[in-house]
A and B are shown apart, each in its own frame.
Chain A
C-alpha cells in the first residue's frame, strides 16, 4: 500500500466525518429547539409553535435561524473585541470536538481513540473557558456574574460527571468508547445501568451532573434570566448568540449520547436480535434522555448558586466516590474479576 494515498484517504475520511458531525450538530440544535418548545408547551398546557411549516410548527426553528442570520452583529464599544469574537467559537468547538469519539454503530466512529472517554471529557471542558471569555470580554457586570457562576459550576460538576463513569471503566477495563458499548451486548439487563445498584446510582449521578454541565434548569446558573438578565451572553446578538445557542443544544445531545453509550448500552437494542439499526437506536436513546432533561427543566424551580455548590461537593462527589468503591467491591464479590 502506498503511504501517500493511504494518508490521502485518511484525510478525506476525516473531512467527511467532520462535515457529517457538524451537520448532525446543527441539525440537533434545530430539532431540539422545536422539541423544547413542544415539550414546554405540552407541560404547560399550551400548544407551542403551530403555524410555521403547517404541521405542528416544525419549521419554527428554521425560521428562527434565518431571522437570527439577518440580525445586526453588535460588538459593544467597550468590549474586548478579540475575546468577544473568539468566545462563541471556542464554546462551539468544545462541544463539536467531543462528537469525534462517539461510536454510532460498530466501526462507525470518527476517531477510535484508546482514551475515547477521557478525550471527550477533556475537550468538552473547553466550553467553560469560552463562557468565561464571553463574560469577561462583554464588559458587562451581569455577564461577568454569569461567567463567574458558570465557571465555578462547570468546573465543579465535571468532577462528579467524570467520576460517575469510572465504575463503568472499571468494569470494562478500557476507556475506548467502542469497547464500552461492546461490553454491554445482549439485551437491556446487560446494560451497565442495571449491572449493579452502584452503577444504577452512578447513572443518575451522571444524569444530574450532566444537567448542570449543560447549564440547564434547575442548574442554569450562568444564565438565570430572572437574576442575571441573560448571564454570560447578555451582550451577544445575531449569529454570535446563535453559536451559544447551537452549542447548548449540541452539548445537551452530547451528554445524553454519552450517557447512552456508557450506561444504556450504546447501539444495542433493549431486546437482543433487534439490532438492525444501531445508529438509530443510539439516537433514540439520546432523544429520550434529552426529553427527560427538558421535563426536569420545565418542572423544577432553580436552585441557588451556593446550594448548587453544596449539592456538588457535599453530596454528589461523595456519592459517586462511594459508587466507585461499591462497584469495585461488587466486581470482586460477584467473581467477575477473574
Chain B
C-alpha cells in the first residue's frame, strides 16, 4: 500500500508537521495479543504511532469444518455450527437449519419457529453484550466488562434451562428444535430478564460507557467506514448498519417468522462524529439489544401451541439432491450457507459465508493512516470472532 494513502483522522492529517527521516517498523500484533480478540494476527507497518499498512493473517483457528460437513450427516453437523460464532451459537444453528430445511422443502411448526427466534435473539443479545464489553476493554474501561458479563450470565442460565448447554447448545435440528420450552416458568423469566435489561441495564451501560467523554473522544471520528467501503468489502451486520445502510436480512430478506414481528433497524447516524465511525457501530449494537428485546417479547407473547419438531429426533434427515443458498442475520452479520446435496446422508459440499471474515478485511483499508490505538478501536468495533473467520 502506498505511503501517501489518505490519512484519515487525528493529527495524522496535519501537513505542517516537518519531515523527519524515519524507517517503518514492522510489528506483529498477535496472534497472542490482548486486543485481537482471539488468535488474529495483524501484520503492521508503523511509523511511530501511525499505521501505514495492516495485513490480517488468518488461519490459526482453522478446523476444517466445511470438510467435516462432507463426512457427517446433516444433524450431526449442527454441532459444528455452534463452534463458528461461539458467542452467538443459536444464530449459527438457525442459519444452518434454515438452509437444510430449504433444501428439503421442509415445513417447520410455528411453535418451533417462535422458540428459535426467541433463543436466537437471546444469543444475539449475549453476543452484543460481549461486543460492548470487550470494546470497552479495548478502550481501557474495565468495569463495563464485568457488568455486561453479569447480564450475559443470566442469558446463559436461561439458555441452559432450555437446551442443556451453557455455551454450545446444539439446540436446533432440521425440522424444529431439540427440546420444548421447559415447564418451569422459563417464558416468565425471559420476559422479566429482558424487561430488566431494557429498563435498567442499558441505561447503566450508556451512563458508564456510551456517553462518557473519554470514550466518545476515543471512538468518534475514528475508523470511519464509508458506505462505499462497506459495500465493496461486503460488510454486513452492525458494521454495515453502522455506516448508515439500513439493511438487515431479518427485514429485507425475511426468513423464519421474522416478518410477523414489529421491530426497527438501527443505523449509524453520526451523532458524535462521522457516520460509520467506531462510536456508531458501538451504538448500533446497543440499540439492537433493545430491538432484540422487543422481538423476544413478541415471539413469546404470541407463542402458539403445537408440536416443536416436524421430524422425530431419532429419524435421519433425508435431503434430496440439489443445492440451496440461504442467508440469515446473525449477531455479527450475514451468515450464508450454500449446501449441495447428492441425495446421500451427508452434504456433497457445504460452503459457509461468515460475516466476521468479510468484516475483518476492511481493516486493510480503514486501518491505514490511523494511530495504533485507533486500530485497536477499529478492530474492537468490528466485533470479530475468530472461530467464525477461520472455521
Contacts and interface: CB of A to CB of B under 8 A. Distances in A.
Bound pair (A, B)? yes
A247 to B, nearest CB: 21
Interface in B1-54: 10-11, 25, 27, 33-35, 49
Interface residues of B, number: 32
A250 B139 CA distance: 26
A217 to B, nearest CB: 6
Nearest to A299: B143
Contacts of A299: 141, 143, 208
B140 A40 contact: no
A145 B25 CA distance: 11
Contacts, number: 76
Pick the 6 closest A-B CB pairs, nearest first: A302-B140, A301-B141, A44-B146, A301-B139, A226-B35, A226-B138
B376 A227 contact: yes
B215 A301 contact: yes
Given A300-B214, A301-B215, A304-B373, A226 B11 contact: no
Contacts of A40: 142
Nearest to A228: B372
A303 B217 contact: yes
A303 B145 CA distance: 17
A141 B27 contact: yes
A301 B377 CA distance: 12
Nearest to A220: B140
B318 interface: no
Nearest to B219: A301
A224 B272 CA distance: 25
Nearest to A304: B373
26 contacts: A44-B145, A44-B147, A145-B372, A217-B140, A218-B214, A224-B140, A226-B138, A227-B35, A227-B372, A227-B376, A298-B142, A299-B143, A299-B208, A300-B212, A301-B139, A301-B212, A301-B214, A301-B215, A301-B218, A302-B141, A303-B217, A303-B218, A304-B10, A305-B373, A306-B10, A306-B371
Given A226-B376, A300-B212, 18 more contacts: A40-B142, A44-B146, A141-B25, A141-B27, A145-B372, A218-B214, A224-B373, A226-B34, A226-B35, A226-B137, A229-B33, A229-B34, A300-B214, A301-B141, A302-B140, A304-B373, A306-B49, A307-B218
B374 interface: yes
Contact of A44 (B138, B142, B214, B374): B142
B203 interface: no
A299 B209 CA distance: 9
B49 A305 contact: yes
A303 B215 CA distance: 8
B150 interface: yes
Nearest to A40: B142
A181 to B, nearest CB: 35
Interface string A301-317: 11111110000000000
Contacts of B27: 141
Interface of A: 40, 43-46, 141, 145, 217-218, 220, 224-227, 229, 298-307
Nearest to A142: B27
A229 B33 CA distance: 6
Contacts of B374: 304
B136 interface: yes
B371 A301 contact: no
B221 to A, nearest CB: 12
Given A217-B140, A225-B34, A301 B146 contact: no
The listed residue with most B CB atoms (<10 A of its CB), out of A218, A226, A229, A300, is A226
Interface of B: 10-11, 25, 27, 33-35, 49, 136-143, 145-147, 150, 208-209, 212, 214-215, 217-218, 371-374, 376
Nearest to B139: A301
A299 B144 CA distance: 9
A152 to B, nearest CB: 10
A135 to B, nearest CB: 14
A46 B153 CA distance: 13
A301 to B, nearest CB: 4
Contact of A303 (B136, B138, B214): B214
Contacts of B142: 40, 44, 217, 298
The listed residue with most B CB atoms (<10 A of its CB), out of A43, A227, A298, is A227
B140 A226 contact: yes
Given A300-B212, A303-B214, A227 B373 contact: yes
A311 to B, nearest CB: 10
A15 to B, nearest CB: 42
A227 B214 CA distance: 17
A304 B139 CA distance: 9
Contact of A218 (B33, B35, B140, B373): B140
The listed residue with most A CB atoms (<10 A of its CB), out of B10, B49, B374, is B49
Contacts of B376: 226-227
Nearest to A310: B11
Nearest to B374: A304
B363 to A, nearest CB: 15
A302 B147 contact: no
Contacts of A229: 33-34
Contact of B217 (A46, A298, A307): A307
Nearest to A41: B146
Contacts of B10: 304, 306
A46 B209 CA distance: 19
Contacts of B145: 44
A304 B218 contact: yes
Nearest to B141: A301
Contacts of A303: 214, 217-218
A78 to B, nearest CB: 15
A300 B141 contact: yes
A267 to B, nearest CB: 35
B150 A301 contact: no
A218 B374 CA distance: 16
A180 B145 CA distance: 43
A303 B84 CA distance: 34
The listed residue with most B CB atoms (<10 A of its CB), out of A220, A301, A307, is A301
The listed residue with most A CB atoms (<10 A of its CB), out of B27, B140, B147, B215, is B140
